[in-house]
Chains A and B, each alone.
Chain A
Amino acid sequence: MNWSMFFKRGNPSAPVACERLQILLAHERSEIGHSNLISTLREEILAAISRHVAVEPDKVQVKMDRGPVISTLEIEVEIPNGAQVSRLAANA
């Protein structure tokens, strides 16, 4: 018999805090992982396009809408009319 039980006021709250944090952070880390995914996609798409056409880095927009069943990836690239075809593409 543990005598300290007689002096305890209510249940210890630390295990509750610990569990809540672990659940929350597992969720938040995956969310932030997604934002990394978007920035990676954006960089790679930009790199692929700029091998052939000159585009401004800020003219490439990548958006992800996450739905319950499917998510959609929206890519918008603004290419100025008469854009210079890069040397690499011209040589090809």
Chain B
Amino acid sequence: MANVVVVTSGKGGVGKTTSTAALGAALAQAGQNTVVVDFDVGLRNLDLVMGAERRVVFDLINVVQGGAKLSQALIRDKRVDNLWLLPASQTRDKDALTEQGVATVIGELRTRFDWILCDSPAGIERGATLAMRHADAAVVVTNPEVSSVRDSDRIVGMLDSKTEKAEKGECIAKHVLITRFDASRAARGEMLSIGDVLEILSLPLLGIIPEDKEVLRASNMGAPVVLNSPASAPAHAYMDAAHRLMGNQIDMVIPSEKRGLLTKLFGRRAA
């Protein structure tokens, strides 16, 4: 059965697109037929992060408006066979997305894929509500920082009231994905801890993605971090998160702080 998952946050710049690409790639690598759908009409970026920006011919709006078939707009990833991208339009207005059109496209995607990951635009406007509208589950991407947590809380309220499932009286499965986490700063009390964020949002934790230079490096290269540097800490964290999304029980590892020269020399003795 197909799973429609919205990757959302309210606040911009917290890592929705990076996380959509990485989770999508991890699910596809785990053998799942996966499509990542960019809902950020006018400000698309998932194509760029996936390294498919020069292969976009038709987009979500073309499909919604009937100007192209779904199969014409879907772009197959060159690295992972069962990973596909449905790009957003860069030139159109966000109002070009209609509720009925989105419902039809999602319905068609459900027949072809196991996982449909919807990359939501930032904000709480129409684009964001359309991205979450048909979701079965939500990944709420949050940075351990006050404005991000506040906006996530707002988005959780919307997931519980504005989605199709919520309107039917059913509950949408919500998970929090904490990104840009710096364990050493959290340990020093300079950053909200994982416990703080979970207590405030009262959502189950899908994963903790450490702040890591490999994340930026991967988007520079146009590849999801799980494909670009599979051995890195963020890649592992995303792979674990993808498996948890699939319902597997995987122990949560809090990414440890980076070891500097001094801790490398004296760390063992101190511990």
Contacts and interface: CB of A to CB of B under 8 A. Distances in A.
A92 interface: no
B153 A12 contact: no
B178 to A, nearest CB: 14
A78 B149 CA distance: 41
Given A20-B146, A21-B146, A25-B200, A13 B153 contact: no
B262 to A, nearest CB: 11
A15 interface: yes
B186 interface: yes
B161 A25 contact: no
Contacts of B189: 11-15
B125 interface: no
Contact of B190 (A14, A18, A25, A28): A14
A17 B161 contact: no
B150 A12 contact: no
A12 B188 contact: yes
A36 interface: yes
B157 A29 contact: yes
B53 to A, nearest CB: 37
B157 A21 contact: no
Contacts, number: 41
A72 interface: no
Interface stretch (B67-75, B127-135, B191-199, B252-260): B191-199
Interface string B132-164: 000000000000011001100110010001000
Contacts of A8: 188
A17 B200 CA distance: 11
A28 B154 contact: yes
B55 to A, nearest CB: 42
A36 B196 CA distance: 27
Contacts of A20: 146
Contacts of B146: 17, 20-21
A18 B200 contact: yes
Contact of A25 (B145, B150, B191, B192): B150
B157 A32 contact: yes
Contacts of A21: 146, 149-150, 192, 200
A29 B196 contact: no
Interface in A25-67: 25, 28-29, 32, 36
Interface string B160-201: 010000000000000000000000001011111100100010
Given A17-B146, A18-B200, A25 B193 contact: no
A11 B157 CA distance: 33
Nearest to A22: B200
Most buried by A among B188, B191, B193: B188
A70 interface: no
B201 to A, nearest CB: 9
Contacts of B145: 17
A14 B196 contact: yes
Nearest to B191: A14
Interface of B: 145-146, 149-150, 153-154, 157, 161, 186, 188-193, 196, 200
